[in-house]
Amino acid sequence: MVRDRLNELQKAFPNGRPSPSPIPAPLLNVQSLQSSGDPSLDRITQMRQSVEQIERRIRTMVEVQETILGQTVVRPEEKNQLDTLIDEIRQRSAKLRPKLRHLGRDLETQGTAGDAFRRMRKIHSEQLIRRLNEVLEMFASAQEDYRQRVNRRVRRQLELAGERISADEVTHLLADNSEDIFFRRISPISFAAQSALEDASSRHVELLQLERTIGELNDCFQDMLQLVHSQGVLVDSIESHVQSASDFVGHANVQVNRAVSYKSSAQRLKCVVVLLVVGLLLLLFLLFIFLFVKFFPSVGSH
């Protein structure tokens, strides 16, 4: 009879699993979104709430996975809880996709809105997509860690049953749902090991299904990111034109001031020239009188 050495193996293979890194609180101002009266911003608020709900369920899923992987025999209620969480994540992700598409259409047609609303939508959309990417990264990290730990668990169970296989073989068995391990010439696998392999295979299929859903959602996020980026380029272009117009107005003001200064200088120069001409004429007149009196004194005496 094979001796149960699960406790020894657990001590020899500590999981050392780090807890998922906390995601920073959203930067969206909920009050400003709700009081804006803009349908697009209202949809962003609803989408942000959906993302938060998905994040909470992912964290709960990670906790349930921790509990399941720490048990020798998985209890049905915990297995059902994990199934329910995965289904909820899938359903909420599917409901989020049409909202993302609708928001994308809003971003495409927001050129008719004012600059302030365009900038507000761009900022809130970028923050929402950043939040979504963080949640997806957390899910992908937790999913990969869970897959690796399932592989290690199956391998330990098979080793306890006297069947030694490599980590690559375990991955191949889970990926192909193969049963060739049960037909080897070595001693038959125990019922507990077979149950562990079946449970791990079931978990692996569910993870693959969830991967496809999250992958489709991620593609939609990338499309949204491109839309927001294009809108940002449009807004930046408008701001650039406004700034150029402002610079042009400032330059025009400088030119006008210079023209006014030149006009004032010209007027002053004109006055000086007139005064000089008048003075010259007066001087010539006095000179003429002086010469006339000097050379024609008789005319002056009569």
* pLDDT on residue 179: 45
Calculate ∠ Cα 25-27-33, nearest 5°. Answer: 125
pLDDT higher than 80, residue 120: no
| Cα distance between residue 73 and residue 193, in whole Å | 10
- The pTM assigned to this predicted structure is 0.54
At residue 34, the pLDDT reads: 47
User: Tokens 């489709």 sit at which residue?
Assistant: 216
For residue range 37-90, what is the model confidence (pLDDT) as tens digits?
Answer: 567 777 788 888 888 988 898 899 888 888 877 776 667 788 788 878 878 887
Average of per-residue pLDDT values in the chain: 69
* pLDDT at residue 249 is higher than 70: yes
pLDDT for the residue numbered 149: 80
pLDDT of residue 119: 72
Domains annotated for the chain, with CATH where assigned, are 6-228 (1.20.58.70)
pLDDT tens-digit map of 124-171: 777 877 787 788 788 878 878 877 887 777 677 667 656 676 777 766
Cβ count within 10 A of residue 183: 7
CA–CA dist 198, 202 (Å, integer): 6
Across 117-125, average pLDDT: 74
Quick one: DSSP state of residue 24? Answer: P
pLDDT of residue 25: 44
Structure tokens at 8: 């020894």
